[in-house]
Structure 1
Amino acid sequence: MDQGFNTNPHLAYIELWGVMQAIFLQQDSITTLYKIFMEDKLSLENESKWKEIRKLRNQCSGHPLDQSGKYRSFFGRDGINYENLRYERKDRRLPEPEFITIDYAQLISDYADETIPFLDAIIETMTKRWPITEQKA
């Protein structure tokens, strides 16, 4: 994130979707690993950044049918950056679209902070089950 998105707006657009999809896949992987190793469902707070970042991805690119077709959202090609990510969301019940700006860098950072304890728990369980032994040369 320190480098930001590409200065070419078309490449930045592709990079943005790549980051969103990578986080989405990461969440699915962590959820599955947690269930396997912790033998429990991953529990999230209602107002978690994990859920917020997933909801953003779904609202902007996910499955509109799962949302009852309520919203249509899209990102423009100009000015894509982590700190002031702007998108347009059209609620079919309202006459005008909303323009929403978020600090995507902060959202990702907060999401990472929430995720670390889950990963720590997985690694701790793995280490207990399969201790790392030194290899003899």
Structure 2
Amino acid sequence: MPELNGLIHSIEEGMKRIGYLEEAVRGHINTTRYQNDLLKDSDNWNQICSSLDTINDTLYSQLDYLNAEYPSSSGLKYIFTYGLLQALFIQQDAIRHLLEAFGIQFELTDRLKEIRLLRNASIGHPTKNKTKGATYYNYISRMSLSKTGFTLMRSFDQGSNEFIDIEMYSIINDQLKDIESSYKLLSEKLTEADRMHRDKHKDNLLSDIFHSSMSYTISKVAEAIHSPHSGNTTFALSMLNSIQKTYQKFEASLLERGDLSEYTKYDLDEYNHALRKLKDYLNGNELGLTDSDANIYHFYIREKNNHFEKIAKEVDDNYRK
């Protein structure tokens, strides 16, 4: 019993560590700059998401196997056994496909290969199981079925028999160790890629794009709205051109880093629309626009500028972490 309790504790701790690693991987792929790139290949993106979900689902099945009351009926005992062994098999495929999607070669360890072979013999192809040139006929001993395992009888070579005691808790524990190692390898690769990306851009501050005179520049546009003589209008148009250039550079910088989210892109498109409207108004091309309308557009570009400067600072702070 102490040995069994130790295995259960090891399994539970392993699942927690895998959970932290999964969270790190999900955090990486859901970061705008990486998600934008990954979404370019929808098949690969779906392979990543399906693999992550499947690994998580199979962890739940293993945890519930440990915590659930083992059934007393023979039929449900088989269902429990079949289900767990199949979950282990699926989990191996899922971690392989997850690493594959990130260009990492996954090699089955000897223990994972053994678990795979035991699954095939017990529930995959028990009635005619071909392995390394030999054909086996397999039987699960019903009387041996328990939550901790069972005995598998294998017949081969004209009546030769062998008996294998399969210990379910040890299998779960050993597989989780290899799953954790593979997850850790992936997490480390993604962390290093993130570090290199941050190092490349961390000294090119987005907040520096918004020069200290932005408030002054925007205020000069308001003067032309309130006092629309030629000098004010000409100067205000030059100020609007300066603001447009600032925002073109801001959008280009976000795009270059991969940090231009669809939400920020939408906001920038609206901001540029407001700038164009004001330029048309000052040029006399927007005949339907009143002074009140122009003031509203001006209020929008002034207040929204604060919003974008805040985004720039948040991105800069993120890169410096």
**Any runs of at least 4 consecutive aligned residues in structure 1 with deviations exceeding 6 A, and if so which?**
none
CA contact (8 A) 1:60 1:74 kept: yes
Shift of 1:41: 1.8
Aligned residue in 2 for 1:134: none
Shift of 1:69: 6.2
Tell me the percent identity: 27
Correspondences of 1:96-135 after superposition (within 5 Å):
96-125=160-189
58-67 or 6-15, which deviates more: 58-67
- Structure ranking higher in strand proportion: 1
Q: Distance in 1 between matches of 2:183 and 2:69?
A: 26
Q: Distance in 1 between matches of 2:160 and 2:81?
A: 25
Correspondences of 1:47-126 after superposition (within 5 Å):
48-63=110-125, 64=128, 66-67=130-131, 70-91=135-156, 93-125=157-189
TM-score, L = length of structure 2: 0.35
CA contact (8 A) 1:49 1:111 kept: yes
Question: 1 or 2 for the larger relative contact order (CA 8 Å, sep ≥6)?
Answer: 1
* AA matched with 1:90: S
Q: Which runs of 5+ in 1 are unaligned?
A: 130-137
102-111 or 57-66, which deviates more: 57-66
SS of the residue corresponding to residue 137 of structure 2 reads: strand
Q: Distance in 2 between matches of 1:115 and 1:74?
A: 29
Q: Distance in 2 between matches of 1:6 and 1:122?
A: 38
CA contact (8 A) 1:86 1:99 kept: yes
Please point out which of 104, 112, 116 is paired with 1:40. 104
Shift of 1:61: 2.6
Give the superposed CA RMSD: 2.8
SS of the residue corresponding to residue 5 of structure 1 reads: coil
CA contact (8 A) 1:4 1:81 kept: no
SS of the residue corresponding to residue 6 of structure 1 reads: coil
Q: Distance in 1 between matches of 2:160 and 2:177?
A: 36
| Cα deviation digits, residues 98-121 of structure 1 (max 9, x gap) | 222132211221121122011223
Shift of 1:8: 1.9
110-119 or 82-91, which deviates more: 82-91
SS of the residue corresponding to residue 142 of structure 2 reads: coil
Shift of 1:22: 0.9
Change beyond 3 A, Cα 1:84–1:57: closer
CA contact (8 A) 2:99 2:105 kept: yes
SS of the residue corresponding to residue 177 of structure 2 reads: helix
How many pairs align?
A: 128
| Cα deviation digits, residues 78-97 of structure 1 (max 9, x gap) | 33124342111111x14243
Shift of 1:73: 0.7
- Structure ranking higher in helix proportion: 2
Shift of 1:28: 0.6
* AA matched with 2:180: I
CA contact (8 A) 1:87 1:101 kept: yes
Q: Which runs of 5+ in 2 are unaligned?
A: 1-65, 195-321
